Chain A
């Protein structure tokens, strides 16, 4: 006997809407069981995970800080993924964007003017886009596998940053510790409401980017082109769309947004370059993009939920003393149920009873 996923001819509209809520309910139920087995009160645990971080203003600011890079990167990735360009290297584009944007405050700290910050943001965008252009050109020109090239370039970017902060860009007053000088006041991305917390303008950029891309994807010819080429390259060609140019377009957009996320994070939240400036935002954003069903508005929600689960995980660790691993297992459950529910909307499970089928046949059938 084996299990097969069979594509449903028609998706239930009702369940498409219900799916995220169903997933949330299942997560809550499974999470409650887990907390109960650990000897914690499930209600308190879930309260700290989902409600406590939303009750204080500073915590909402932190939510915005955490969600901003995730949303910014993920909306860019949605353009890539919708057009079936598998950009796995957003983490690298994030880093190169941060590096390119940091040139002014680190190499020319004497340049003190209001012009510095806008230039930094532009250079961050350009850096991320240029770095994404490498796998894009390789794919468009030589038909290389962009999953591999973009992923490998992440490690190149990480090591490049590492080399910079240990070598040429090391803070001359920093006791040889691997970090650049702190950015001067003109190079710091301002906080939105400085009095109440440290959410910076990166969150505003994320919202604007999501709204603009939502409009482009759902209301313009370009958006139509992205989707057609993704779903059927052949049909796209008949419509006169070039898939080669789409590769470049998709990578440039997502690279630019990842670069903007990078420079915003460094200039708004960290204030200097360090050997590691991202706890894997570029990879987590892939999950966010799919959680948001590649829809920029959905991605805003998904980014906030994922950020909330990080904050909630910390709150739960402190308040009820569960370990970091439990927090992450719970996060894993959330993702699992969301993706599983989505899958079951598009597919149904069929149990195939195979009375007399040899292993080879079964394998061939599967492939």
Chain B
């Protein structure tokens, strides 16, 4: 009898709690953890734009908070836990290195939703992962680079040899070689995501070696600025960097996280949030190409055509025949790479003039 009473009380309380959640008097709290400063004009800047979009779309219904420059490692877990304890309903952890910390904290706070960018671990039902198919944009850049370069060599400032970056280099090379089979790419490993000084040095070194196109997989605008000073062309990364190279930027891969963030925060608010593993690209609008500038009309038209064919799903950048760097076959004629292989990519395709640091 007593037990029944307790159960009933608990049930009533539970209902009451559910009732207040539905009443939605309280704003939903969305929190963001950034790996860099919001003023990097690259990766973190774009995530922060997403936060601003959430604020704009949901107005008073949402409250936001963020922590910037949170180091990956032991500090991340504390930062995430602090958010979980401070009443956040949904927490976006926006760097790969937060993966284990996100999952650990998620296990302790089953009522809070966690969204981890670029990771693959979803150890609890309240953890989702999301990422974008940046390689689609890289392929288009490769096409443009081969059309625009007189030297036939592009410089690639890369961060770390993780699959995401290797995949980007391969897509760029494949795009370029679809135009000019002899096109070469020189890769410099900066071993950092954000270090304007190092990135600028890498750009200078590459230009001194004769490249006339710079592309980057690091987050600062320094390479764009160096390219502008030295009069070569460059591609922006993560955000539209046209301000930093009005005469220099050909296009940029823009990460547009806003729509996803708005959708997920709304889902929490409406109680429809479910665990997902999203890998979206041009078609879904998560990857956006900045305007094609500083190039002749025919190149622009070609770039738009390639972009359209990828967006419509008619063409996949990793379509065979493609050989690995050592000449062994990887994809047969017409074969398309599966996502699992791409996400674990640890080899170059034929034509990359670099050795993977190992």
Contact = CB atoms under 8 A, between A and B. Distances in A.
A218 interface: no
Contacts of A167: 358
Contacts of B345: 176
B178 interface: no
Interface-centre pick from A175, A182, A321 (highest chain B CB count, 10 A): A175
A182 B100 contact: yes
Interface stretch (A88-96, A140-148, A275-283): A275-283
Interface in B150-169: 160-163
A177 interface: yes
A20 B72 CA distance: 33
A279 to B, nearest CB: 4
Interface stretch (A32-40, A239-247, A310-318): A310-318
Contact of A314 (B79, B163, B191): B79
A314 B37 CA distance: 14
B160 A324 contact: no
Contacts of B83: 318
A166 B161 contact: yes
Interface stretch (A22-30, A106-114, A119-127, A263-271): A263-271
A78 interface: no
Interface in A243-291: 265, 269-272, 274-279
Interface residues of A, number: 37
B94 to A, nearest CB: 15
Contacts of B72: 274, 276
B82 interface: yes
A65 B78 contact: yes
Given A177-B96, A178-B160, A318-B31, 18 more contacts: A65-B74, A65-B78, A66-B78, A166-B161, A166-B357, A175-B120, A176-B162, A176-B346, A265-B74, A270-B73, A270-B74, A274-B97, A314-B78, A315-B82, A318-B65, A318-B67, A318-B83, A323-B68
Interface of A: 56, 58-59, 62, 65-66, 162, 166-167, 175-178, 182, 198, 265, 269-272, 274-279, 310-311, 314-315, 317-319, 321, 323-325
Interface of B: 31, 37-38, 65-69, 71-75, 77-79, 81-83, 85-86, 96-97, 100, 120, 160-163, 191, 343-346, 357-358
